[in-house]
Amino acid sequence: MESMLNKLKSTVTKVTADVTSAVMGNPVTREFEVGRHIASGGPGLCWRIYNGTKKSTKQEVAVFVFDKKMIDKYQKFEKDQIIDSLKKGVQQLTRLRHPRLLTVQHPLEESRDCLAFCTEPVFASLSNVLGQWENLPSPMPTDIKEYKLFDVETKYGLLQISEGLSFLHSGVKMVHGNLCPENIILNKSGAWKIMGFDFSISSTNPSDAEPKYTCKEWEPNLHPLSLPNPEYLAPEYILSVSCDAASDMYSLGVVMHAVFNEGKPVFQVNKHDIFKSFSRQLDQLSTMSPALLNKIPEEVREHVKMLLSVTPNVRPDADQMTKIPFFDDVGAMTLQYFDSLFQRDNLQKSQFYKGLPKVLPKLPKRVVVYRILPALTSEFVNPDMVPFVLPNVLLIAEECTKEEYVRLILPDLAPVFKQQEPVQILLIFLQKMDLLLTKTPAEDIKNSVLPMVYRALEAPSVQIQELCLNIIPTFANLIDYPSMKNSLIPRVKAACLQTSSLAVRVNSLVCLGKILEYLDKWYVIDEILPFLQQIPSREPAVLMGILGIYKCTFSHKKLGIPKEHLASKSLPHLVSLSIDNNLNLNQFNSFMVVIRDMLSRMEAEHKTKLEQLHVMQEQQRSINITNPGSQSEETKSPPSTGNQIDDIFGSTGVNGKENGSAAAAPQPNRMSLTLEEKQRLAKEQEQAAKLRSQQPLAPQTMKPASNTNTKTKDLTSSLLNNMTSLNSMSLANTARPAPVQGTTIAAFPSASPMMGPMGVSVSNGFNPPMGFQAGGMGMGMRPAGPALYGGMATTTSTPNFGALTQNQGQTNKAPDLSALDSLFTPSQPKVTLNQMGPKATPGTNAPWLNQFGSPQNAQTQMQGASVGMGGVPSGFGMQANPFFSPQNFSQPAAAAPSLNQSGVKHSASVNNDLKDLFG
């Protein structure tokens, strides 16, 4: 590992030293920072190409450096010829301006050690790409070593060179004189550019229609850097010392051959005997064999053959070459259109950008990213074009890696995030929000992307708000929780409360319902559910949205609503909403299904809690009975329910056994009683037995003692707290007195007091007006039968409440209340709330969204299946969430015919009378 680090350190040190020595003292370094060595180009690949940046603007450039040490071994006149030739080429390039020529950013500067100038950013020369690696850094850059030209790049590159030659020949009246892969540069975007005008020849009569060019005679003794590359020169240049525009077209033909043959020219030239080589070459060109061009695509093979013709007049000119069918490729034409965009108006550009998404998938990724993307992002400065350009940029972003997106696309998108006009920009970003949140770093999401979403929620356009609310659930899982809780949810709530649009309000509720699963339980209970009570409107769609949020929260396995919140807030709110006049029948039934679900779960949870408390109390009581001496008088547990009843009624407790002669007197110890006391006790027990065997008396009008009311209240609370245990006690096995014949009590309470057989007002022994409260849904109790609304009386046995008070005048005798045993009949099977409600008809179904109708739609047939009371879906998501799956808002069907108007089954059991009495 250490050796590798040392090797890397020495390599970096060497490269830094080379760069420093190469440009040391050159004026270029005053304005530009010189980076690493990336490529080589120019005549003989003598120019080293470095990447660099302009110090003032941080603009990226390429720095071309010619190190004079390369020619130190030559004589001075040879050095001067080489330097003069290179200077001429750069100066000529600097004067010429055309998209197909390499753009010079800073003119040539000379110092004692080097020549240097700066151009647009460069990737490499075509010669490097085709495998000529002279004067390249060591180790070889992998991007050059592995670079392979795509067909579309080759086609469009050759088209660009043809267009460049057309400009030189027709516009400038100039012959390049040394067109070869060394003088063709691929810029950073992949465009092919011409350089190397060292041996260019200008027309002697540029104003004439037929320009004339004068070329120099070939001097084989000169240094190769002082001569053109002979392998790409036309034969007439060497053999007849003549040249014109057709000579460059021959060079173009050789370049095309080299591109399709791994960089190899048509012929290898012996530079020591060049005239003989060209004579031989001339013969071969005259009788060109098909094998010479077999690697060239068939559709351009004939054109290359014409370019390599010995006769200059046969060769097509540059303008003709730009129009050959070979270049009529969709990709090449697309790239060509991008290069001419500055000539188009906005309407033409917009039409082109609309069709571009169909073309982009057909192009290689490298071409799209490095050639098309920069042209697209340059249009961001034109706000009118952004809505047409942005979809293409985001389409390219989908194919990029996250690193490429951050490096190549995000810097140009950052200013566009802040644009609010035209509104289509915001809509396009919202539609691609999942892409942005997936590939954008967290810091940029927080600073650029989410603020754009917040602006959309606060936008004055209802359409934008609706779209934003519809799209937010699709990427909610990608938003960090603090941003969602502190920024997103408050804005959704504000949009719901402040809008005047029903669509925005409903979409706000639907949006909240869909993202509930990404929130925690207590945030929903503390922030979302109270917010529902603040919504002012009562349209059916809004009410159903509120119901949906309650249902989602209640049913979600991670959320849920505590029973305390159900009882105090959720159920009261839902009940009040359920009777809104705007709801139709289906919608009302949906409310009732959810309300019953909540009631059922609340009942089950609270009953479980009370049963557990009861078990704990029974266990404690059994411990106290087993160890009576273990507690002091101050710490004993309160008396059981049975003992409280014994204290009130005296002789008979809930277990059906005799406990004593007086209600308040404790049972005496029989071992310590005198004979007189034993006789008196036996007499009292005999009288009590007689009373139990008698028929119950009709209720007597007699005012109960004040202490009876107090004890009755104790009895009421005890019965409510211990109803389960009372129903299971052994009273069911005791004898029951027969009912008084003909005695009737109306099941519905009457405003007038109850009258006895003789017209005497009857008291029930607890409250002076003898009226039985028929309602009461608590503890699973129901009123008795259709007499509630039908006005029909039900014959029932009347307890002998007269026994409560008939012995008030006797101080030593406890009243015989055996008639009260008839109250404690065997407990009936309990009926849950869902059995009391209307039953649904299976096999029907109604979409939840159909519930957003007007109240006038109440005559439509009810559909849907009821949801099981207390049932919790196995999972929460697209299936269980009514906002994702509206069918889950099921509708109960018509109630079963066996139910009366109140939805309560008829029952006349004495046990239910007891429940009615004690509420």
Q: Which residues contact 369 (CB under 8 A, 6 or more apart)?
A: 396, 400, 404, 408
| Rounded to 5°, angle at Cα 526 from 524 and 527 | 65
Amino acid (one-letter) located at 918? F
Task: For residue 66, list its beta bridge partners.
Answer: 115
Question: Do 558 and 524 form a contact (C-beta atoms < 8 A)?
Answer: no
* Residue 681: burial class (beta carbons within 10 Å; 0-12, 13-18, 19+): middle
Looking at the structure, tell me whether residues 132 and 186 fall in a common domain: yes
Question: Do 542 and 506 form a contact (C-beta atoms < 8 A)?
Answer: yes
| Closest CA relative to residue 188, chosen from 337, 332, 371 | 371
Residue that terminates a domain, selected from 327, 358, 378: 327
Residue 158 has pLDDT above 60, yes or no: yes
Average pLDDT over residues 558-587: 86
Name the least confident of 83-87, 301-305, 528-532, 852-856. 852-856
Task: For residue 41, list its beta bridge partners.
Answer: 47
Question: Do 285 and 267 form a contact (C-beta atoms < 8 A)?
Answer: no
Task: Say if residue 422 is preceded by a cis peptide, omega within 30 of 0.
Answer: yes
Residue 286 has pLDDT above 90, yes or no: no
Enclosing domain of residue 434: 337-556
pLDDT, greater one: 256 or 639:
256
pLDDT, greater one: 716 or 546:
546
- pLDDT, tens digit, for every residue of 593-614? 989 888 988 888 899 989 999 9
| Closest CA relative to residue 251, chosen from 243, 261, 241 | 243
Name the least confident of 61-75, 434-448, 638-652. 638-652
User: Could you tell me if residue 674 is inside a domain?
Assistant: no
Whichever domain contains 138, its CATH number is 1.10.510.10
Looking at the structure, tell me whether residues 166 and 244 fall in a common domain: yes
DSSP string covering 342-379, please?
A: GGS-HHHHHHHHHHHHHHGGGS-HHHIIIIIHHHHHGG
Looking at the structure, tell me whether residues 319 and 347 fall in a common domain: no
Q: Which residues contact 606 (CB under 8 A, 6 or more apart)?
A: 563
Going by their DSSP bridges, the two strands 47-54 and 60-67 should be labelled as: antiparallel
- pLDDT, tens digit, for every residue of 749-774? 434 444 443 444 444 434 444 333 33
CA distances in angstroms from 410 to 356, 404, 407, 439, listed in the order given? 21, 9, 7, 9
What is the C-alpha to C-alpha distance for residues 123 and 50, in angstroms, rounded to an integer? 10
| pLDDT for the residue 3 | 54
Q: Is 39 helix (H, G, I), strand (E, B) or coil?
A: strand
Average pLDDT over residues 342-352: 86
Q: Is 538 helix (H, G, I), strand (E, B) or coil?
A: coil
Q: Which residues contact 500 (CB under 8 A, 6 or more apart)?
A: none
Question: Do 464 and 426 form a contact (C-beta atoms < 8 A)?
Answer: yes
By residue count, the chain amounts to: 919
Residue 869 has pLDDT above 60, yes or no: no
Looking at the structure, tell me whether residues 451 and 522 fall in a common domain: yes
Q: Which residues contact 142 (CB under 8 A, 6 or more apart)?
A: none
Looking at the structure, tell me whether residues 258 and 366 fall in a common domain: no
User: Could you tell me if residue 467 is inside a domain?
Assistant: yes
Highest mean pLDDT among 546-550, 629-633, 749-753, 774-778 belongs to: 546-550
Question: Do 449 and 437 form a contact (C-beta atoms < 8 A)?
Answer: yes
Name the least confident of 121-125, 287-291, 538-542, 579-583. 287-291
Give the single-character DSSP code of 438. Answer: H
Looking at the structure, tell me whether residues 367 and 493 fall in a common domain: yes
What is the C-alpha to C-alpha distance for residues 563 and 575, in angstroms, rounded to an integer? 16
Looking at the structure, tell me whether residues 282 and 389 fall in a common domain: no
Looking at the structure, tell me whether residues 372 and 507 fall in a common domain: yes
Measure CA of the first residue to CA of the last residue in the chain; give whole Å. 87
User: Could you tell me if residue 894 is inside a domain?
Assistant: no
What is the C-alpha to C-alpha distance for residues 265 and 267, in angstroms, rounded to an integer? 6
User: Could you tell me if residue 346 is inside a domain?
Assistant: yes
| pLDDT for the residue 678 | 67
Looking at the structure, tell me whether residues 321 and 359 fall in a common domain: no
- pLDDT, tens digit, for every residue of 659-695? 443 333 444 444 445 666 667 777 777 776 665 555 4
Radius of gyration of the CA atoms of the chain, in A: 51
Q: Is 390 helix (H, G, I), strand (E, B) or coil?
A: helix
User: Could you tell me if residue 901 is inside a domain?
Assistant: no
Q: Return the percentage of the chain with pLDDT > 70, whole number.
A: 67
Task: For residue 124, list its beta bridge partners.
Answer: 186
- pLDDT, tens digit, for every residue of 476-513? 887 888 888 888 888 888 888 888 888 888 888 888 88
Give the single-character DSSP code of 432. Answer: T
| Rounded to 5°, angle at Cα 548 from 455 and 502 | 50
Residue 466 has pLDDT above 90, yes or no: no
Residue 737 has pLDDT above 50, yes or no: no
Average pLDDT over residues 801-815: 40
| Closest CA relative to residue 917, chosen from 715, 761, 734, 742 | 715
- pLDDT, tens digit, for every residue of 57-116? 999 999 999 999 999 888 888 899 999 999 999 999 999 999 999 999 999 999 999 999
**Nearest 10 degrees: Cα torsion 842, 848, 853, 858:** 20
Q: What is the mean pLDDT of the chain?
A: 73
- Tokens 């739609």: give the residue: 857
User: Could you tell me if residue 383 is inside a domain?
Assistant: yes
For 379, other C-beta atoms within 10 Å of its C-beta total 20
| pLDDT for the residue 641 | 43
CA atoms within 13 A on the CB side of 899: 14
* Residue 633: burial class (beta carbons within 10 Å; 0-12, 13-18, 19+): exposed
What tokens were used for 600? 């059922």
- pLDDT, tens digit, for every residue of 207-232? 777 888 998 888 888 888 999 999 99
Q: Return the percentage of the chain with pLDDT > 90, whole number.
A: 27
Question: Do 723 and 779 form a contact (C-beta atoms < 8 A)?
Answer: yes
What is the C-alpha to C-alpha distance for residues 628 and 257, in angstroms, rounded to an integer? 115
| pLDDT for the residue 174 | 93
pLDDT band at 448 (very low <50, low <70, confident <90, very high): confident
Residue that terminates a domain, selected from 327, 359, 382: 327
User: Could you tell me if residue 253 is inside a domain?
Assistant: yes
Residue that terminates a domain, selected from 271, 294, 327: 327
Give the single-character DSSP code of 141. Answer: P
> In degrees rounded to 5, what are phi and psi of residue 50?
-115, 150
What is the C-alpha to C-alpha distance for residues 49 and 678, in angstroms, rounded to an integer? 129
Whichever domain contains 462, its CATH number is 1.25.10.10
| pLDDT for the residue 629 | 55
pLDDT, greater one: 911 or 726:
911
Q: Is 765 helix (H, G, I), strand (E, B) or coil?
A: coil
Average pLDDT over residues 396-406: 91
What tokens were used for 636? 């004993």
| pLDDT for the residue 1 | 40
What is the C-alpha to C-alpha distance for residues 85 and 450, in angstroms, rounded to an integer? 58
pLDDT band at 579 (very low <50, low <70, confident <90, very high): confident
Residue 382 has pLDDT above 80, yes or no: yes
| pLDDT for the residue 694 | 54
User: Could you tell me if residue 631 is inside a domain?
Assistant: no
pLDDT, greater one: 723 or 337:
337
Q: Which residues contact 719 (CB under 8 A, 6 or more apart)?
A: 641, 726, 914, 918
Residue 415 has pLDDT above 70, yes or no: yes
Task: Give Cα 783 distance to the centre of its chain.
Answer: 52
Looking at the structure, tell me whether residues 309 and 395 fall in a common domain: no
- pLDDT, tens digit, for every residue of 196-208? 999 999 998 877 7
Looking at the structure, tell me whether residues 539 and 461 fall in a common domain: yes
| pLDDT for the residue 735 | 41
| pLDDT for the residue 95 | 95
What is the C-alpha to C-alpha distance for residues 63 and 119, in angstroms, rounded to an integer? 7
What tokens were used for 779? 């503890």
Looking at the structure, tell me whether residues 90 and 216 fall in a common domain: yes
What is the C-alpha to C-alpha distance for residues 19 and 21, in angstroms, rounded to an integer? 6
DSSP string covering 211-253, please?
A: -----PPP-TTS-GGGS--GGGS-HHHHHSS---HHHHHHHHH
- pLDDT, tens digit, for every residue of 3-23? 554 554 444 444 444 555 667
Structural domain tally of the chain?
2
Burial 9-39 (b: 16+ CB within 10 A, else e): eeeeeeeeebbeebbeebebbebbebbebbb
Question: Do 116 and 21 form a contact (C-beta atoms < 8 A)?
Answer: no
pLDDT, greater one: 726 or 473:
473
